[in-house]
């Protein structure tokens, strides 16, 4: 019978430590996976009233009601793939929780709408830096045919070196202009009109 000899430095204590460390490591990875999964769900994200405001237009979008039946939830679009990248995204996203607790009253629909452009620009930049990786989890450029006869050519030629977000935004949440053409004054006046506020009220709310 073949007897396996352990190296001398592997004592009982070292072996026990390795086993316990391995079990703890597996447990930690399972925790991170489940944590990232749970904190990426719509149910978790919309616990916050301000995020419920964001989710309302999402529920009317093609990402919530797709013809294919494949629904994209919050984390599918806004959390990177892979447990470490996803955990890092949640860690960085902690600043939003801080702002929710100590920043302006985002639960107020007027305040939320006034600050929406900055949130949209930040999200679009996040997508652009990652080359729209989360979009590409579901969408394959070579498989996009659409209903227009030139859809295939647009994606093969015009959009060849572009990230999805550079052309496709305002698909899910409330519409916000591109940052390059955004005008704060026009946005404030639009918010005042939408919520029946006096002219100049939006500017004062932003200063508070």
Cα separation, 5 vs 8, whole angstroms: 9
Tally of residues, the chain = 208
How much is the pLDDT for 1?
61
CA separation for the pair 174, 52 (Å, rounded): 12
Segments in the chain below pLDDT 50 = none
At 135-155, the pLDDT tens digits run 999 988 878 877 777 888 888
Q: How much of the chain, in percent, has pLDDT values that exceed 70?
A: 98
The CA–CA distances, whole Å, from 190 to 55, 109, 154 equal 21, 14, 33
Task: Report how far residue 68's alpha carbon sits from residue 203's, in angstroms, rounded to the nearest whole number.
Answer: 43
Query: What is the structure's pLDDT at 13?
Result: 86
Cα–Cα dist 65/152, whole Å: 24
Q: What is the pLDDT of residues 157-196, one digit of tens each?
A: 777 788 999 999 999 999 999 999 999 999 999 999 999 9
């Amino acid at each position: 019978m073949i007897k396996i000899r352990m190296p001398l430095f592997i004592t009982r204590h070292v072996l026990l430590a390795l086993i316990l460390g391995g079990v703890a490591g597996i447990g930690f990875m399972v925790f991170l996976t489940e944590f990232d999964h749970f904190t990426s769900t719509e149910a978790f994200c919309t616990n916050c009233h301000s995020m419920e405001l964001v989710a309302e237009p999402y529920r009317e979008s093609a990402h919530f009601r797709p013809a294919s039946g494949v629904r994209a939830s919050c984390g599918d679009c806004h959390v990177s793939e892979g447990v470490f990248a996803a955990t890092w995204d949640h860690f960085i996203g902690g600043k939003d929780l801080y702002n929710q607790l100590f920043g302006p009253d985002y639960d107020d629909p007027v305040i939320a709408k006034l600050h929406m452009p900055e949130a949209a620009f930040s999200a679009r930049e996040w997508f652009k830096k990652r080359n729209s990786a989360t979009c590409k989890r579901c969408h394959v450029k070579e498989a996009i045919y659409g209903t227009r006869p030139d859809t295939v050519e647009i994606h093969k030629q015009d959009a060849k070196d572009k990230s999805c977000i550079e052309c496709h935004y305002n698909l899910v949440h409330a519409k916000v202009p591109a940052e390059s053409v955004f005008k704060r004054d026009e946005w404030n006046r639009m918010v005042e009109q939408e919520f029946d506020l006096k002219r100049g009220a939006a500017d004062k709310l932003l200063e508070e």
